[in-house]
Structure 1
Amino acid sequence: MRNILLTTVTALLLASCGVYKPYSRPEEVKTDGLYGTDIQAEDTASIASLHWSELFTDTRLQSLIRRGLENNNDLNVARLKVVEAEATLMSSRLAYLPSVSLAPQGTLSSFDGSKTTKTYTLAASAEWELDLFGKLTNAKRGARAALEQSRAYRQAVQTQLIATIANSYYNLLMLDVQLDINRCTAESWSESLRTLELQKQFGNTTEAAVQQARANLLTVETNVLTLEQQVKKQENAISLLLGDVPSHIERGTLTEQQFPDTLSVGVPLQLLARRPDIRQAEASLAQAFYATGAARSAFYPSITLGGSAGWTNSTGAAIINPGRWLLSAVGSLTHPLFNRGRNIANLRIAKAQQQEALLSFQQSLLKAGSEVNDALAQWQTADRRLQLDGKQIAALRRTVESTRQLMEHSSSTTYLEVLTAQQSLLSAELTEANDHFDKIQGMINLYHALGGGSW
């Protein structure tokens, strides 16, 4: 009988070796060519290796980011989720230890009016589940993977928060530039309107030209009001990110911002270590892997050892005080017999969820590569547009000046030509401000796409 039992336990242990296997990254996960064929990524240097304070050198922006990291409610919620995961991991580790409880008991009994009998039992009991088939091990490893997932989520929220604050700040600077351009344009056009009104008095222009100039001035003044509203709205959005009530945001100017002239992306393999959302996806895959192992463990017996020790004065018919020692030990083995259908279904579900987690992990890699490509293209394209914007604005300024002088000294040039040149110049100046912000935004998006700002 002893040999049969030993053989059975040995066979079960050998069959359950698979449930102890630790997680390893699947071979089908590839990073080659993740950035696309148009980006040659061979150098391991990456902009993501910079601390956010090295990239965003504006001290006012640095102050805003620090306030956001300290007070943002979403980030604080993510930090609390890490605390919850740490507690869960602690609980799974303590599951290896026996559970001990104290259960004192006292009774009073009397039969048919006889003398009351007083008995008591003061004992401590313990129960210990042997982890022969990986149930507790998989639970602990799954809890550790959940902790890594929570930490990665916290870092993902942090990197997104830094990128959002920086984007919002530079968008605010861009709105300031556009507001200044419109205000200067309004002043210039107001002067032009006064000049036209004087010319009309001397018969050198028409009422239609004066009214057209007035209408254009009103359009610019309307744009000023709209931009002022957008500035206030952007300030409120930044205050919300900082966990603060709406307030004025101290800021610099768009032209004084300094950034690297070249941006390096590093090799795609670095995304696995730097991007927190990818680490979160892989931690989720590891958690699903261990959940599958736990589902396999359900097919094997559960062995529990227990016992109690203490004192009692009830040892049969005699009543003794103080009490005598009370010792007991018990072992139990529970093996599933009629719930295998449920265990099989649970295993199939766990395998399917593990495959879902693998697909999500692969998709997160593809998404990361696409975001890197998009951000780099945005930065490069905006940089080339800025070079053209500068040349266009210089040409339009000369055009405005030339047409204004021709209108003042020649009857062949009408105010409509001056108006067209002024409107083109205004549009080009606003476009330059937008392209300047677009270039900065491309850099921020690239920094975020590469996993920068997670530390």
Structure 2
Amino acid sequence: GYYTLLMLDEQLSISERTLTTWDENIRVLQALKRAGRTNEAAVLQARANRMRVESSTLTLRNQIAEQENAIRSLLLDPDADMARGSLREQSFPESLSAGIPIDLLSNRPDVREAEYRLQKSFYDINVARAAFYPSITLSGNAGWTTSSGSVGNPSSWIANALGSVVAPIFNRGTNKANLDIARARYEENLLDFQQKLLDAGMEVNNALIAWQTANGRLALDRKQIVALKGAVHNTRLLMRNTTTNYLEVLTAQQRLLEAELSEASDRFDVIRSVISLYHALGGGR
């Protein structure tokens, strides 16, 4: 949420600078119109472009206010100060490890939860299997004992126990059913654990791909901005010294605004992908 706020701040700053540029453009076009070098259509086009940017700034201000309120809600403080830095000041890793050991996924709470369920179901099998045996304890010098005390003749006691306790239960299949259920739950939890690992691994890969893609777009954005700044400068020179239509300057400036807004968005996507990777690894590395 904080980095979303910084991205919106950056986009608002770009839009406000562009508004100043459009004001200058309108003044120049009005002067050119008086000199007979352009017409009313060019002036109206420039005013329309300015109003579109002004509308965008109003939308951005509204989004900023909503994001500030969302953060205040998370902080449980409706009066929290929203002083902050800028998007360009943020420092994030410029390279990420391409090979991430799968055991790092054990940091994730959902993977740990599935692992513990698997462990429990394994021990449940042992508990279910133990129910087949009489409740008797081997106690060294004390010999064979039960909850009722010492067993004088273990062989006879076991025979009686099997006859009086285990056999009736076997007739109903209860112990066997419990063992089958425990084994089935173990298989279910094993599959769930495997699925959690696959899902977690996919999230890690997706975050890495998103980071690589956003970085690629960001590099292209920067090259495009340099090219468009040159285009704006050159079309202005051409307009002053040739019959080049001023609409070409307006078009170049509009494309420059769009490229600068895209750069801010892609810089945020780089940050968001790093945060997503941190989450996917259950708290980073």
TM-score (norm. length: structure 2):
0.80
Please state whether the residue corresponding to 1:255 is helix, strand or coil: helix
- Select 1:219's aligned residue among 29, 52, 57: 52
Are the equivalent residues in 2 in contact too, given 1:196–1:205 (CA < 8 A)? yes
1:358/1:420 CA distance change after superposition, 3 Å: same
Instruction: Point out the structure with the larger helix share.
Output: 2
Instruction: Point out the structure with the larger strand share.
Output: 1
Corresponding residue number in structure 1 for 2:193: 361
Corresponding residue number in structure 1 for 2:208: 376
1:424 partnered with 2:255? yes
Corresponding residue number in structure 1 for 2:226: 394
Matches of 2:45 and 2:105, distance apart in 1: 60
Corresponding residue number in structure 2 for 1:134: none
Matches of 2:51 and 2:101, distance apart in 1: 53
1:265/1:275 CA distance change after superposition, 3 Å: farther
Quote the offset at 1:453 in angstroms.
5.1
Please state whether the residue corresponding to 2:282 is helix, strand or coil: coil
1:438 partnered with 2:259? no
1:268/1:222 CA distance change after superposition, 3 Å: same
Quote the offset at 1:193 in angstroms.
1.6
Which blocks of at least 5 consecutive residues in structure 2 are unaligned? 137-145, 150-160
Q: Following superposition of structure 1 onto structure 2, how do residues 6-405 of structure 1 map, counting pairs within 5 Å?
A: 168-245=1-78, 247-264=80-97, 267-301=100-134, 305=147, 335=165, 337=168, 340-405=172-237
1:222/1:194 CA distance change after superposition, 3 Å: same
Matches of 1:200 and 1:342, distance apart in 2: 97
Are the equivalent residues in 2 in contact too, given 1:173–1:254 (CA < 8 A)? yes
Please state whether the residue corresponding to 2:82 is helix, strand or coil: coil
AA partner of residue 390 (structure 1) = R
Matches of 1:236 and 1:403, distance apart in 2: 43
AA partner of residue 292 (structure 1) = I
Matches of 1:198 and 1:446, distance apart in 2: 54
Matches of 1:203 and 1:386, distance apart in 2: 42
Are the equivalent residues in 2 in contact too, given 1:178–1:430 (CA < 8 A)? yes
Matches of 2:121 and 2:227, distance apart in 1: 62
Identity over the aligned pairs, expressed in percent? 56
Provide the aligned length of Structure 1 versus Structure 2. 261
1:267/1:409 CA distance change after superposition, 3 Å: closer
Quote the offset at 1:219 in angstroms.
0.8
TM-score (norm. length: structure 1):
0.52
Q: Give per-residue Cα distances to partners, 1:259-315, cap 9 Å, x unaligned.
A: 3332226542432543332222101211222333334444455688479xxxxxxxx
Matches of 2:73 and 2:235, distance apart in 1: 48
1:183/1:306 CA distance change after superposition, 3 Å: farther
Corresponding residue number in structure 1 for 2:153: none
Which blocks of at least 5 consecutive residues in structure 1 are unaligned? 1-167, 308-332
1:400/1:272 CA distance change after superposition, 3 Å: closer
Matches of 1:246 and 1:340, distance apart in 2: 67
AA partner of residue 382 (structure 1) = A
Corresponding residue number in structure 2 for 1:62: none
Matches of 2:113 and 2:230, distance apart in 1: 56
Moved more, 436-445 or 356-365: 436-445
Are the equivalent residues in 1 in contact too, given 2:277–2:284 (CA < 8 A)? no
Matches of 1:306 and 1:397, distance apart in 2: 93
Quote the offset at 1:366 in angstroms.
1.3
Matches of 2:214 and 2:58, distance apart in 1: 28
Q: Give per-residue Cα distances to partners, 1:294-353, cap 9 Å, x unaligned.
A: 34444455688479xxxxxxxxxxxxxxxxxxxxxxxxx893635834444443333222
1:295/1:265 CA distance change after superposition, 3 Å: farther
1:229/1:264 CA distance change after superposition, 3 Å: same
RMSD after superposition: 2.7
Are the equivalent residues in 1 in contact too, given 2:105–2:201 (CA < 8 A)? no
Matches of 1:453 and 1:388, distance apart in 2: 28
Matches of 1:450 and 1:265, distance apart in 2: 14
1:362/1:215 CA distance change after superposition, 3 Å: same
